[in-house]
Amino acid sequence: MAFQAMAKDFDLLRSQLLDVIKANRAKGVSSDEHPSVCGETAQDHCLVEGPAALPPMAISLLEQVQEYNANPGKERFSKMVTLAEQMDATSLLVSARVLMEILVQANLAESHQRLRAFKHALKSFVTMDFQDPGDTAIKTFRGCFNKMTAEGITHEQIREALVNHKIELVLTAHPTQAQRRSNLKKHESISQLLKVHDAKDSLTPGEQEELRAKIQALQWSCWRTNAVRRNRPTAEGEARNGMLVIEDAVWTAVPEHYRRIDRCLKHRGMPALPYDASVIKMSTWMGGDRDGNPNVTAYTTRRVNALLRWRIAELYYTEVDALLFDLSMTGATSEELQQELKSLASMWPAPTSDGDKVCVPDTRCGVHFNFQNGVAPDEPYRRVLMSVRRRLFRTKKSMESLYLGKPVDKDFESEIYKSTTELARPLEIVYRSLVTTGDEVLANGRLLDLIRRVRTFGVSLACLDIRQESDRHEEVMNAITQYLGLGSYSSWTEQAKCDWLLDEIQSRRPLLSPDMPMGDIVQEVIETFRTIADLPPETVGAYCISMSRATSDILAVCLLQKIGGVKQFMRISPLFETREDLQAAPRVIDSLLGIPWYKDHVNGKQEVMLGYSDSVKDAGKFASTWALHVAMEKLVEVGQKHGVEVTFFHGRGGTISRGGGPPHLTLLNQPAGSITRHLRLTVQGEMIQQHFMNPEVAEHTMERYAVAVLEHILTPPPLPSPEHRAAMEELAGLSAKDYQTTVFRSQEDQFVKYFHAATPSAELAQMNIGSRPAKRRNYGGIDTLRAIPWIFAWTQTRLLLPVWLGNGAALDKFITDGKLQLLQSMYSKWPFFKSMLDLIDIELGKADEHIAAHYDSKICDDALKPLGQDLRQRLAQATTSVLQVKQEKEVLSAEPSTKLAIGMRRPYLDATHVIQAEVLQRLRKAGEQTSEELADAMIVSIQGIAAGMQNTGCMCTLGLRCSSAKATLLKCLSYLAMNRFMGPQARLFTSARISRGVPGDFKVDADETSTVDSSGSDVEKEEIDVQSWSIVGRKIFERLADDDSDDDFDVMKNVPINTHAWSAVGAKIFNTLADFSDDED
């Protein structure tokens, strides 16, 4: 089974890790003999990098964890608690560290299984039942095409949607990535070695031993690396980390993503994507997100922009250098290419005599390893590429100068690539010439890959968004109006603000006097817009305005762009975050698009960003999800009213509390029509690593998003009935009232006190996991706390309050009022409601009231403990209510593989909670007199819990084998019915099953190589006769029928099928199951 394969990988990694650590103990090495040194001086001793040998008490804890794993219960848990209480600070720190490393190994095993399942899905050519949420993460283009074809969507419609769609993934540096980049790179290497381990049977004993040694070396390197950041990362450092992810994974994955689409279209008789298609785009906030982060300045943005452009020029340069070898052809070319050569002739000195090499780099073009002395005059493609290479080299050198603050060589300025069209044009001319002259096979190789990369990345490795809070813009406007003697802008009415802003935007005279005095904040905002004016428009993306509340917020940014000298305005994406702001968003955008100047300015397109984290923090999951859904519905209507296409920018986080989850389920939360072509969303914090660990994982990520978008465009979710809509509106209201009363209106602020006492909220601030502070302001309570640390803190104690508080009370009220059947009807008939409960169910599966109670017992005052008890009872109530609506007995019933993955981590995760609670208790008792080891133990425990509580199983990829076998059997039956091996009754049954979501027959995919011939025998198994295969088919069928959870197989048990038919079934299913087998049985 898939879970068994993952468990084996985890056992391998865990045992290898512990073996290499314990090996030093066997050699008699002690921590004292090898003191760990960290920090800037040798005197700064600590043990945050794993010691050379484990302390005895840490080993005892590992033994107790194994006992707890075998027999979980209060008694075993209490033993771990008692042992932790007896540990000194060093043992607590080392125990937290080794548990964290084990949890990381579990994550690596799961990530590898996710990729393995995806590749199995690609190889098995099985059409999955897409109504099963357990298969949402292994959706492939092939399976999606089959499903849509069965629903009446033509291949032409599918191709048109593919050509026009675009997925834009925006990397953000939110502080949820607790692991250091130093170790993340090593984890990627371990993942690559796990792929080699999958083929261990083909390795010699020596190669297997060497493989294990390589894994252990990487694990040991991670173990001996300092797990605690001594300094908070800089904004530029975060940007560099993001660049590494894009270069290491996305750069390689992009061409394969396009080729995978091309292959699927080709196998259905459709043309490939156009060579200049652009269906994927990368953007970033790193270096541009200054919302509440004083560390991101105009200087930072300028340097990061130069870095992004420098790096992409380097990558393009390498590809063009390789193409110079590939495209060595001489002879006829297209007329278009001949004209291009004439236009490029002036770039190079003319040859002194016939036959001399041309395109000879001068001394200012640097040293090139290849073609330093030019190329032959009869090599037209190389001549074009030499010109491209020269411009890339000069672009790269110019970006280096900009980054270092030096002047750019004036002779280089005219050759700097500033637009995608500039760079793509000569490459596409070469492509068309190759196709025209019969060299299409060469055109569709490395050259096509490069063109598609250019169309994806443009002239910057990632497009840089700028984000700032609306209040900062208002401060600038206030300073200007007061200087001009117009009074306080902040005190004006909304209409007065809009009128003045529009007048100034359209005025020809300058508004800002150079003599106007400015405070630091105003100066920095103005300088940001002056920096934007200096950057090529294609290298910057959207200007996101956080906490947008009014039309004037958007117009203020338009005026600021004019003041800064921006010639081509950045598109503006107002961000609506709280529930109240989401409800007001349609009115704001309607008013905005009603302004003739602005409507002409946006040219038929308006982007709107939606906040998921803050709306959940503000009103709870039910109210937030519904507010987002309704806002999108109304905003689509507003766009239609004004003839403007509204594109939604989804500010989703990693956890379900912050809008995360499988793409298929999260997009079901969106109303029909909310995705017309373009999906733009953030990939935040720890999700960057999960989405882009390596090129194969990146390919999987892009395909999952593309499939989800295609389904939403071509087969949108149904609209709710009026009764269901009214019920959801009432549920949202009830949920928000209960949530807000608890969080924001508790008696004597008891809840606020409990939050800070029962969670490591204060300790989270000590972690140098992001350049941005935890609060937008240095004052205020929960209302000014950012949503991310709010959710992160509850995750640490396993109460996971943001995702369920309020929901349970709302559901319970409906159930008490006799509306359970209504709720069950909503769940079964409305995809929006079903996906919302399914996502909550996944989070409830990770919550643990006993762990939360343990924290209360260790660190809460007696006066606050009753509130904790009440919250845990409400968690139980929420769980019961969700299960009643879903008609299930326990959480994660529909996600057994997810449940198993969580269970795999649970003993190590629970032990980490034990360590953290003990450390918290000691830290708070010690006050300012705490030891550095205890503080480090706290940080390491936070990292460990963050690793163990990742979106475990959200990708839903582990339940592949049974569903694939079942789908294979149904496909077999489809094949038999189509070829009349069955009688009428069997054919009728098969047709019914196909209509339920397992469409197509055995030969529906051109890329599927069927091994069954017309007689029903298996071509590759000729040594086994038909009678034998028929017995195999019947036996496998009966075994699957016994394990089936519905009546799909039972209906067929007594249907007469001839021997040749059972032979075909047996051969096909046997081969499919063998592909998934971990041995040679």
Q: CA-to-CA distance for 442 and 476, rounded, in angstroms?
A: 56
Q: Which two tokens stand for residue 543?
A: 């200007």
Options 112, 139, 165, 174, the catalytic residue? 174
pLDDT band at 465 (very low <50, low <70, confident <90, very high): very high
- Burial grade of 499 (CB within 10 A; 0-12, 13-18, 19 or more): middle
Beta-bridge partner residues of 650: 610, 681
Based on the fold, state whether residues 984 and 1032 are members of the same structural domain: yes
Q: Which two tokens stand for residue 674?
A: 């909310």
Number of Cβ within a 10 Å radius of residue 124 = 22
Based on the fold, state whether residues 1053 and 977 are members of the same structural domain: yes
- Burial grade of 292 (CB within 10 A; 0-12, 13-18, 19 or more): buried
Q: CA-to-CA distance for 599 and 820, rounded, in angstroms?
A: 47
Q: CA-to-CA distance for 572 and 610, rounded, in angstroms?
A: 13
Per-residue pLDDT, averaged over 534-553, amounts to 97
Residue 979 confidence (pLDDT) above 50: no
Residue 161 vs residue 20, higher pLDDT? 161
Based on the fold, state whether residues 430 and 472 are members of the same structural domain: no
pLDDT band at 958 (very low <50, low <70, confident <90, very high): very low
pLDDT band at 39 (very low <50, low <70, confident <90, very high): very low
Three-state DSSP string of 284-296: ECCCCECCCCCCC
> Across the chain, what does the average pLDDT equal?
84
Q: CA-to-CA distance for 287 and 304, rounded, in angstroms?
A: 6
Predicted local confidence at residue 661, as pLDDT: 74
Per-residue pLDDT, averaged over 17-23, amounts to 85
Based on the fold, state whether residues 447 and 392 are members of the same structural domain: yes
Exposure string for 223-246, b = 16+ CB within 10 A, e = fewer: beebbbbeeebebbbbbbbbbebb
Predicted local confidence at residue 761, as pLDDT: 87
pLDDT band at 30 (very low <50, low <70, confident <90, very high): very low
Give the tens place of pLDDT for each residue, 716-757: 988 999 999 999 999 999 999 999 999 999 998 999 999 999
Predicted local confidence at residue 931, as pLDDT: 84
Options 257, 473, 617, 886, the catalytic residue? 617
Does residue 104 lie within any of the structural domains?
A: no
Q: Which two tokens stand for residue 177?
A: 């990535």
Residue 1034 vs residue 5, higher pLDDT? 5
Q: CA-to-CA distance for 861 and 361, rounded, in angstroms?
A: 75
Q: CA-to-CA distance for 721 and 829, rounded, in angstroms?
A: 9
Give the tens place of pLDDT for each residue, 486-526: 999 999 999 999 999 999 999 999 999 888 999 999 999 99
Residue 996 confidence (pLDDT) above 50: no
Per-residue pLDDT, averaged over 768-780, amounts to 48
Residue 762 confidence (pLDDT) above 90: no
Give the tens place of pLDDT for each residue, 380-406: 999 999 999 999 999 999 999 999 999
Predicted local confidence at residue 131, as pLDDT: 39
Predicted local confidence at residue 992, as pLDDT: 41
Which of 418-432, 686-700, 757-771, 1003-1017 has the highest mean predicted lDDT (pLDDT)? 418-432
Does residue 921 lie within any of the structural domains?
A: no
- 174 is known as an active-site residue: yes
For residue 512, the domain's CATH number is 3.20.20
Based on the fold, state whether residues 496 and 641 are members of the same structural domain: yes
Question: Rounded to the nearest 5 degrees, what angle is found at the Cα of 567, between the Cα atoms of 561 and 569?
Answer: 50
> Could you tell me which residues come within 8 angstroms of residue 77 by beta carbon, excluding any fewer than 6 positions away?
68, 850, 854, 910, 914
pLDDT band at 781 (very low <50, low <70, confident <90, very high): low
Q: What is the DSSP letter of 785?
A: B
For residue 335, the domain's CATH number is 1.20.1440.90
Based on the fold, state whether residues 560 and 536 are members of the same structural domain: yes
Per-residue pLDDT, averaged over 200-226, amounts to 92
Based on the fold, state whether residues 891 and 755 are members of the same structural domain: yes
pLDDT band at 946 (very low <50, low <70, confident <90, very high): confident
- Burial grade of 1028 (CB within 10 A; 0-12, 13-18, 19 or more): middle
Query: In this predicted structure, which of 176-185, 238-247, 543-552, 814-823 has the lowest mean pLDDT?
Result: 176-185
**End position of a domain, from candidates 850, 883, 898:** 898
Beta-bridge partner residues of 684: 172
Nearest to 730 by CA among 805, 669, 819, 670: 819
Residue 1000 vs residue 1060, higher pLDDT? 1060
Give the tens place of pLDDT for each residue, 287-332: 999 988 899 999 999 999 999 999 999 999 999 999 999 999 998 9
Give the tens place of pLDDT for each residue, 815-865: 999 999 999 999 999 999 999 999 999 999 999 999 999 999 999 999 999
Predicted local confidence at residue 240, as pLDDT: 92
**Phi/psi at 772 (5° precision):** -100, 140
Ramachandran category for residue 604: left, alpha or beta (phi over 0 → left; psi -120 to 50 → alpha) = left
Quick one: how far is CA 605 from the chain centroid?
Answer: 26
Instruction: Using the structure block, give the residue that is written with the tokens 């959480």.
Output: 891
Residue 527 confidence (pLDDT) above 50: yes
Based on the fold, state whether residues 384 and 500 are members of the same structural domain: no
Does residue 270 lie within any of the structural domains?
A: no
Give the tens place of pLDDT for each residue, 591-638: 999 999 999 999 999 999 999 888 888 899 999 999 999 999 999 999
Contact between 99 and 908 under an 8 Å Cβ cutoff? The reply is yes
Based on the fold, state whether residues 889 and 964 are members of the same structural domain: no
Domain coverage including residue 879: 722-765+775-898
Based on the fold, state whether residues 539 and 615 are members of the same structural domain: yes
Does residue 978 lie within any of the structural domains?
A: yes
Residue 48 confidence (pLDDT) above 50: yes
Q: CA-to-CA distance for 835 and 621, rounded, in angstroms?
A: 12
Predicted local confidence at residue 778, as pLDDT: 43
Question: Rounded to the nearest 5 degrees, what angle is found at the Cα of 308, between the Cα atoms of 305 and 314?
Answer: 140
pLDDT band at 765 (very low <50, low <70, confident <90, very high): low
- 1035 is known as an active-site residue: no
Predicted local confidence at residue 932, as pLDDT: 87
Strand locations in 532-586, DSSP E?
A: 540-546, 571-576
Based on the fold, state whether residues 534 and 425 are members of the same structural domain: no
**End position of a domain, from candidates 882, 898, 914:** 898
Does residue 515 lie within any of the structural domains?
A: yes
Nearest to 163 by CA among 267, 250, 266, 261: 261
- Tell me if residue 102 falls in helix, strand or coil: helix
Longest dimension (CA), the chain: 98
Q: What is the DSSP letter of 929?
A: G
Three-state DSSP string of 378-409: CCHHHHHHHHHHHHHHHHHHHHHHHHHCCCCC
Number of Cβ within a 10 Å radius of residue 920 = 25
Residue 354 confidence (pLDDT) above 90: no
Residue 567 confidence (pLDDT) above 70: yes
pLDDT band at 702 (very low <50, low <70, confident <90, very high): very high
Query: In this predicted structure, which of 226-230, 814-818, 822-826, 915-919 has the lowest mean pLDDT?
Result: 226-230
Q: CA-to-CA distance for 905 and 845, rounded, in angstroms?
A: 13
Contact between 1044 and 966 under an 8 Å Cβ cutoff? The reply is yes
pLDDT band at 552 (very low <50, low <70, confident <90, very high): very high
Per-residue pLDDT, averaged over 643-668, amounts to 81
Contact between 467 and 291 under an 8 Å Cβ cutoff? The reply is yes
Q: CA-to-CA distance for 971 and 933, rounded, in angstroms?
A: 60
Instruction: Using the structure block, give the residue that is written with the tokens 């590809």.
Output: 319
Does residue 323 lie within any of the structural domains?
A: yes
Q: How many separate domains does the chain show?
A: 4
Predicted local confidence at residue 119, as pLDDT: 76
Does residue 150 lie within any of the structural domains?
A: no
Nearest to 1048 by CA among 1002, 1005, 995, 1006: 995
Contact between 758 and 225 under an 8 Å Cβ cutoff? The reply is no
Per-residue pLDDT, averaged over 138-164, amounts to 90
Q: CA-to-CA distance for 655 and 670, rounded, in angstroms?
A: 18
> Could you tell me which residues come within 8 angstroms of residue 863 by beta carbon, excluding any fewer than 6 positions away?
none
Give the tens place of pLDDT for each residue, 883-901: 999 999 999 988 887 888 8
Q: CA-to-CA distance for 1022 and 1068, rounded, in angstroms?
A: 13
Residue 409 vs residue 969, higher pLDDT? 409
Does residue 205 lie within any of the structural domains?
A: no
Based on the fold, state whether residues 1031 and 1052 are members of the same structural domain: yes
Predicted local confidence at residue 36, as pLDDT: 39
Predicted local confidence at residue 963, as pLDDT: 37
CA atoms within 13 A on the CB side of 427: 28
